[in-house]
Structure 1
């Protein structure tokens, strides 16, 4: 007779295998982690030797997983993992490194796709332009993470707030451009960034009106770039055409639903959903039932949206022209002050 505990343990390791990098060896990982022989690691993976509670704790902690989903329960609880907001001076750099790690994980799978239900323009798109990226970094660090070092600072193009994160930013963009992506937008997608620039300008937290105008110009250049990516249906760096490594870029327009910055990734046979919290941070869940429900919701939204990448030239031009008019109207107000 099959031992149900043995079967459960074997299933646990099978699920675990699908969550590690494709080129990694599960038996090597377990042997090193538990400090046992390869043979002993194999016997645990096959369910021939039961894990004790301490070993189970070590494995779950190392791979950031929970055993809850392996038990047949009727609980409606959904497990999430992620980072809490931190207010130390190094918090933003750590956040950037975590973004890169998550993108590298997604990119490590041959079968991969990212879905973004946009409320605010995805952070990656701000990175295309150094000055705009520098402003967003400054804003996040000053007004969200409350970095003490920026307490009395104003944003200035000459101070280059982008420089400390230039290498990380380029790495993030290179990986992001290799991952096929579907984004669901509406016309509100620029409002948050526009409002941040406007508020900082009105509060005197941007050094000169000319700098504010430059930021709006950067935003217009990013809009032009997004339109080109939507036209070709492929990702690329600002000012460049798609390369052989450029991933598919699908852009949907939904005029009814305002997104919530939900980020879902298909990795291999599994899915993971990231939900936004504390403005910058995300928590993720690999819960199968939850992810299937979220994916069906995204599918339904895409069916009720207009695909404007690759096709839908009229709708695409109308959409991007509306975005430009929003930015141009803000820029004109500032230019009248100069």
Structure 2
């Protein structure tokens, strides 16, 4: 086999290995997917036999890998993978399933950590409160995914938008709470959610002021929960103490940099960077140089930020009180208008 092709095939299998749980056997996966004997699978993994085009296509589709990265090693291109809004009525369900699959992959590694440069409060935190989660689901489906069925609907308590997604939401939270996480926040982290509630109220899409008030109160309860996790330095279910498998929770305060919702997962010896687009969606890359640069940037930001989880009680209380003040100002404005 020609050496450049053997090297490319070796890198290709390394990428596949990095995309499967650490407990899974690479040769078993390849043997099953390509319907080969164990010996034939080994020969391809060791580079003794070249993959044919049908095998490459099958493996790329199965393990969601792009060949571009293997043909542009010396170029300045960076290959990303991801999904976009298909404008289907089940688009949100598909998005939730993809989120759960990504989290399950991350959690399957013993060495795992997630880094989040927060612009908006991470979606997982909205899930802690069913009513707030229901509102976010309604907003995303109506204003971002453009569900035709919600075109003329308003958000009321008569219909529970959380219920159809309760099972998968609980699964997401359960897995997310196991993954050690570092989040870099500033005071603007609540702005988007508060503005969405306010605008829907002003547009009459939340027709009852008491519902708007309840949503603001939900945000206050989520703030209380985040402060509790920051104090303990551990994740936990809403209103519950941490458990043995609770992941570490590190919260950093950076008062200078406004985040962009960059999400990085460190799994084993691999890093994956996810960049936000179209409000809900992310594209990801395993490009080594790019990920090392992003990690270095995140590391520098954390070093220049104030760690307010576990320690920094004064700074932590000040930060969460500022978040509460933002919510109370919205409540006061609501009461003045109505």
Q: What TM-score do the two structures reach when normalised by structure 2? A: 0.96
In structure 2, the residue matched to 1:270 is 270
Paired residue secondary structure (2:225): helix
Preserved contact between residue 265 and residue 272 of structure 2 (Cα < 8 Å): yes
In structure 1, the residue matched to 2:258 is 258
Bigger mean CA deviation after superposition, 183-192 or 62-71: 62-71
Partners of 1:245 and 1:44 in 2: CA distance: 38
Q: CA deviation at 1:266?
A: 0.2
Q: For each residue in 1:273-332, what CA deviation from the matched residue of structure 2 results, as whole angstroms up to 9, or x when unmatched?
A: 000111111100011111001000100110111000001111101100000001011012
Paired residue secondary structure (1:114): strand
In structure 2, the residue matched to 1:202 is 202
Paired residue secondary structure (1:322): helix
In structure 1, the residue matched to 2:176 is 176
Paired residue secondary structure (1:250): strand
In structure 1, the residue matched to 2:158 is 158
Preserved contact between residue 209 and residue 337 of structure 1 (Cα < 8 Å): no
Paired residue secondary structure (1:314): helix
In structure 2, the residue matched to 1:317 is 317
Partners of 2:262 and 2:286 in 1: CA distance: 14
Once the two structures are superposed, the pairs formed by residues 1-338 of structure 1 within 5 Å of their partners are 3-70=3-70, 73-338=73-338
Preserved contact between residue 252 and residue 308 of structure 2 (Cα < 8 Å): yes
Q: CA deviation at 1:71?
A: 5.1
Partners of 1:73 and 1:175 in 2: CA distance: 35
Partners of 2:90 and 2:15 in 1: CA distance: 34
Partners of 1:208 and 1:72 in 2: CA distance: 56
Paired residue secondary structure (1:76): coil
Partners of 1:309 and 1:205 in 2: CA distance: 37
Q: What TM-score do the two structures reach when normalised by structure 1? A: 0.96
Q: CA deviation at 1:9?
A: 2.4
How many corresponding residue pairs? 338
Partners of 1:147 and 1:48 in 2: CA distance: 51
Partners of 1:59 and 1:168 in 2: CA distance: 28
Runs ≥4 in structure 1, deviation > 6 angstroms? none
Bigger mean CA deviation after superposition, 184-193 or 63-72: 63-72
Q: CA deviation at 1:88?
A: 1.3
Q: CA deviation at 1:16?
A: 2.2
RMSD between aligned residues: 1.5
Preserved contact between residue 66 and residue 81 of structure 2 (Cα < 8 Å): no
Partners of 1:4 and 1:82 in 2: CA distance: 28
Preserved contact between residue 276 and residue 282 of structure 1 (Cα < 8 Å): yes
Partners of 2:305 and 2:88 in 1: CA distance: 41
Preserved contact between residue 78 and residue 287 of structure 1 (Cα < 8 Å): yes
Q: CA deviation at 1:100?
A: 0.6
Paired residue secondary structure (1:336): helix
Preserved contact between residue 230 and residue 310 of structure 1 (Cα < 8 Å): yes
Q: CA deviation at 1:155?
A: 0.5
Q: CA deviation at 1:50?
A: 1.5
Partners of 2:87 and 2:270 in 1: CA distance: 33
Q: 1:159 to 1:34 in 2, by over 3 A?
A: same
Partners of 2:154 and 2:72 in 1: CA distance: 56
Partners of 2:195 and 2:167 in 1: CA distance: 28
Q: CA deviation at 1:10?
A: 3.1
Preserved contact between residue 184 and residue 253 of structure 2 (Cα < 8 Å): yes
Partners of 1:112 and 1:232 in 2: CA distance: 20
Q: 1:37 to 1:176 in 2, by over 3 A?
A: same
Preserved contact between residue 186 and residue 253 of structure 1 (Cα < 8 Å): yes
